[in-house]
Structure 1
């Protein structure tokens, strides 16, 4: 292993690395491009389906008899409010589907991207719901010749489902507000998670209000069929993939803790036993949502990567002390039961689009990179690895990575040392001073898939420099663990 990243080719340590034959490079490049096009097409189709579902919801309403009488200001305002409510409800169901951990969505988007889209829809949905409530109140008020406040009181007293509608609105506001980055950072994970689960309650309490809205969802109409079908599909997906399947996997594979191995201060490898673990279908680079059933840890779910590809009856994860929840994992006793949701993530060889492989890891980000390297069939010279640590104590699993790289002719660089103060860079102070860059370290950077994992701010800096060097966006892969 080269002890520092090379600034120029002359500074590299000779490892006998050979460039793959040009014909093989061309064949691999073509294969990866085809796979990328297929995934891109699937992504586009899923995005189109989302907006088609919104369009269908609105079109069905506009085609109904209830939307034809727009001869007064009150009718127009009310109709606009209904359209806003329909669009919001449709997008809420899309959000639940994206968060349901459906295998197809994970294979196409990756769970981190699916959750990113899920979160991005939160504010628009909230705005649409607020507009819906405002316009409906104003529209009904114009028809009844009352003020918005008077109309609100009237709706509460004359419509039995209206309190549920306002309760659903309050729950959505709570979910969106607590999901804001500034607010979420101040909340314990468990508190945020419980509040976020209120989105299911919001959908449940809003349904009676939606189905009771007179001509909009009248019996024996296509609108009613469409909405009931949509609700059944989404809620079934949530029930199966968020609850039933994880329970089945946990009971079937009978996961237990075998041992907890301290590999560095505040870092532990947790060795697990189970049944038919190879049937989980884990690919190197994926993660799971783990729950350890002990008195001190059962209430906390942990998104943690597999640090090795599971065998038939053994698996391993490696965790770092990042707070009270993860710190308790270091004291788990052998025999503790474990439940698993997953595996998830597209930080795998399945996401490759280019003939060469660049792996860059810092700190505990080594875990998915190590598993990905283990799981990737590589030719000599195809892969280059850069391991980054602020000091010698952060060299978690580095020896294992070096051994794996030696088996397939990959080259490994190590960059150790703190970052320079006053500079927004990912390199160590010494390597930054020497002018080390991604291009000087990785000889085939522009022909590579660049996999990056480490502290998020650091990883974003690496991704920034990769883009500035000319690496296409689809060749840059980051995993943001989500639960």
Structure 2
């Protein structure tokens, strides 16, 4: 994916050069203007690639997973914004040098053109998206509010299109540049339209999923039982998730990524939800008969990505849900798996009783670790376990011959992954699913 990003950026710049980009540089003003054009082309290219990465294209999900795609999407966000900011500043300075005017007067003059006014609007929208994506700011938003703001990125790219096609003749009609950019726009927004809207709507109607019942698992945790048509044709692999929308008065306006806690059958599916905010709390109160739409299934946290002969699993809290369906779906030999279930207190042992009862878990070891972590220490283990000398290799003595699947809160999961890497586990055998956004 990184190579494709660089190739796309190189293509954008190469096409500008091929159509006389350097020849336009004749003085200081045109040099600054040309630098502004190049930063704008690269920034816009990155923005469109970000949309492609966020479109949930099936081939990307199957090969690397949406987690990896969205990680790259986030990495491109700040560079894209800085380039677009540089684009605006350099063009304004370049135009003022060429016109012999001051920067303030040139800025006011640019606002008078409708296409460039839209470009400034797009810049403002992009600033809002990037600022709300900063971790410290994002934590102050609910998932629903953050997601709504993030959708502005689609609008920002669209409103910038007219000025890109008209300003300065950079993308003149009949040039390869124009074909490339229109093609990239079509790919980005076509993928969004097809895979984020059209396909999910069609599949939701086809399978007719409704809520059959809501079962309390623990305080603040419920399993939602779903019924529908031909749900086995979703070809859901254990460990995957979907984006769910419940069409009731208090929940229709937001959707949530929730893992399957059991592999769907022809007529039934199950998800398990923990109350982590107003959105998930509202979902836990949906009534039987509520219509449900979905996107997915997604994710590479599945048995298909195993490369080692044995299986090691560590799950914490509500992270047990994809683990439960993963173990149900995996064709395990007797004694092949070792599972460690982690919770601070017994009330956090969601679905634990189901793990050992799975037919696939015959003669496999299932351990539990209860208790708080010791204060001041960077560890994923309980104080009691550390005091008894427990290590990741004592729990999983055949760790290096295993694929390790870890699911739980991000900071905690990273500590497990850190210990696994320190023990010599290759990255190809480490699979981490994080339960936050």
Please report the TM-score for the alignment, with normalisation by the length of structure 2.
0.97
Partner of 2:215: 261
Instruction: Quote how far apart the aligned CAs of 1:53 are.
Output: 0.9
Partner of 2:124: 170
Q: Which moved more, 1:349-358 or 1:275-284?
A: 349-358
Alignment partners' CA distance in 2, 1:80 and 1:249? 46
Partner of 1:75: 30
- 1:90 partnered with 2:45: yes
Partner of 2:281: 327
Alignment partners' CA distance in 2, 1:442 and 1:216? 60
Mapping for residues 389-468 of structure 1, pairs under 5 Å: 389-404=343-358, 407-468=361-422
What are the ranges of 5 or more consecutive residues in structure 2 without an aligned counterpart?
Answer: none
Contact 2:355–2:361 (CA under 8 A) maintained in structure 1: no
Contact 1:253–1:274 (CA under 8 A) maintained in structure 2: yes
Contact 1:358–1:450 (CA under 8 A) maintained in structure 2: yes
Contact 2:57–2:191 (CA under 8 A) maintained in structure 1: yes
- 1:118 partnered with 2:39: no
Please report the TM-score for the alignment, with normalisation by the length of structure 1.
0.88
Partner of 1:183: 137
Alignment partners' CA distance in 2, 1:71 and 1:461? 56
Contact 2:262–2:269 (CA under 8 A) maintained in structure 1: yes
Instruction: Quote how far apart the aligned CAs of 1:409 are.
Output: 2.8
Q: Which moved more, 1:331-340 or 1:418-427?
A: 418-427
Alignment partners' CA distance in 1, 2:347 and 2:85? 52
What are the ranges of 5 or more consecutive residues in structure 1 without an aligned counterpart?
Answer: 1-45
Contact 2:213–2:287 (CA under 8 A) maintained in structure 1: yes
Q: Which moved more, 1:274-283 or 1:65-74?
A: 65-74
Contact 2:335–2:361 (CA under 8 A) maintained in structure 1: no
Partner of 1:25: none
Alignment partners' CA distance in 2, 1:325 and 1:358? 33
Instruction: Quote how far apart the aligned CAs of 1:407 are.
Output: 4.4
Q: Which moved more, 1:470-479 or 1:55-64?
A: 470-479
Instruction: Quote how far apart the aligned CAs of 1:421 are.
Output: 2.2
Instruction: Quote how far apart the aligned CAs of 1:411 are.
Output: 1.3
Instruction: Quote how far apart the aligned CAs of 1:481 are.
Output: 5.3
Instruction: Quote how far apart the aligned CAs of 1:463 are.
Output: 1.0
Partner of 2:10: 55
Q: Which moved more, 1:442-451 or 1:252-261?
A: 442-451
Partner of 2:180: 226
From 284, 287, 290, the counterpart of 2:241: 287
The alignment partner of 1:290 has SS state of strand
Alignment partners' CA distance in 2, 1:366 and 1:66? 56
> Cα–Cα, structure 1 residues 292 and 109, in superposed 2: closer, same or farther, change >3 Å?
same
Alignment partners' CA distance in 2, 1:278 and 1:200? 33
- 1:145 partnered with 2:100: yes
Partner of 1:15: none
Alignment partners' CA distance in 2, 1:239 and 1:276? 25
Mapping for residues 237-256 of structure 1, pairs under 5 Å: 237-256=191-210
Alignment partners' CA distance in 2, 1:360 and 1:302? 24
RMSD: 1.4
The alignment partner of 2:254 has SS state of coil
Partner of 2:323: 369
Instruction: Quote how far apart the aligned CAs of 1:160 are.
Output: 3.3
From 67, 82, 85, the counterpart of 1:130: 85
Instruction: Quote how far apart the aligned CAs of 1:276 are.
Output: 0.7
Instruction: Quote how far apart the aligned CAs of 1:475 are.
Output: 1.7
Task: Give CA-to-partner distance per residue, 1:296-332, whole Å, 9 cap, x none.
Answer: 2212212110001100010000111112221223322
The alignment partner of 1:213 has SS state of helix
Instruction: Quote how far apart the aligned CAs of 1:482 are.
Output: 7.2
Alignment partners' CA distance in 1, 2:100 and 2:54? 43
Task: Give CA-to-partner distance per residue, 1:229-273, whole Å, 9 cap, x none.
Answer: 111111110000111111111111100011111111111111100
Task: Give CA-to-partner distance per residue, 1:178-236, whole Å, 9 cap, x none.
Answer: 11111111122222122111111111110000000233111111100111111111111
Alignment partners' CA distance in 1, 2:362 and 2:102? 75
Instruction: Quote how far apart the aligned CAs of 1:448 are.
Output: 1.4
> Cα–Cα, structure 1 residues 328 and 155, in superposed 2: closer, same or farther, change >3 Å?
closer
Contact 1:65–1:215 (CA under 8 A) maintained in structure 2: no
Alignment partners' CA distance in 2, 1:231 and 1:412? 50
From 430, 433, 437, the counterpart of 1:476: 430
Contact 1:355–1:448 (CA under 8 A) maintained in structure 2: yes
The alignment partner of 1:379 has SS state of coil
Alignment partners' CA distance in 2, 1:359 and 1:329? 28
Partner of 2:227: 273
Instruction: Quote how far apart the aligned CAs of 1:474 are.
Output: 2.4
